Amino acid sequence: MPIDLNDKKLNIEAAVEIAMKDKKMRLELLENLLSKNETVRYNSSKILFSLTQKNPELLYDKWDDLVKFLDSDNTYHKLSAVLLMGNLTKADKDNKFEKIFNKFYSLLDDKSFITAAYVSQASGIIALAKPKLQTKITNKLLDIDKTHHEQERKDLAKASIIDTFAQYYTQAKNKKEILAFVEKQLNCKSPKTRKKAKDFLKQVITN
> pLDDT averaged over consecutive 10-residue blocks of the chain (207 residues)?
89 96 96 95 97 97 95 94 97 98 97 95 97 98 97 95 96 95 97 97 83
Q: Is residue 191 in a domain?
A: no
At 2 the pLDDT is: 74
Cα–Cα distance measured from residue 115 to residue 82, given in angstroms and rounded to the nearest whole number: 8
At 181 the pLDDT is: 98
Q: Is residue 54 in a domain?
A: yes
Helix (H, G, I), strand (E, B) or coil at 112: coil
HSE toward the beta carbon, residue 144, CA cutoff 13 A? 27
Q: Is residue 46 in a domain?
A: yes
At 187 the pLDDT is: 96
Q: Is residue 112 in a domain?
A: no
Q: Is residue 71 in a domain?
A: yes
Residue closest to 73 by CA, chosen among 44, 112, 22, 15: 112
Phi first, then psi, for residue 92 (nearest 5°) are -80, 70
Ramachandran class of 95: left when φ > 0, alpha when ψ lies in -120 to 50, beta otherwise: left
SS3 content of the chain, % helix, strand, coil (to 5): 75, 0, 25
Q: Is residue 61 in a domain?
A: yes
Q: Is residue 152 in a domain?
A: no
Number of domains within the chain: 1
At 54 the pLDDT is: 96
Q: Is residue 50 in a domain?
A: yes
What is the pTM assigned to this prediction? 0.94
Q: Residue 92 belongs to what domain range?
A: 1-99
At 26 the pLDDT is: 96
At 206 the pLDDT is: 76
At 1 the pLDDT is: 66
Cα–Cα distance measured from residue 14 to residue 147, given in angstroms and rounded to the nearest whole number: 40
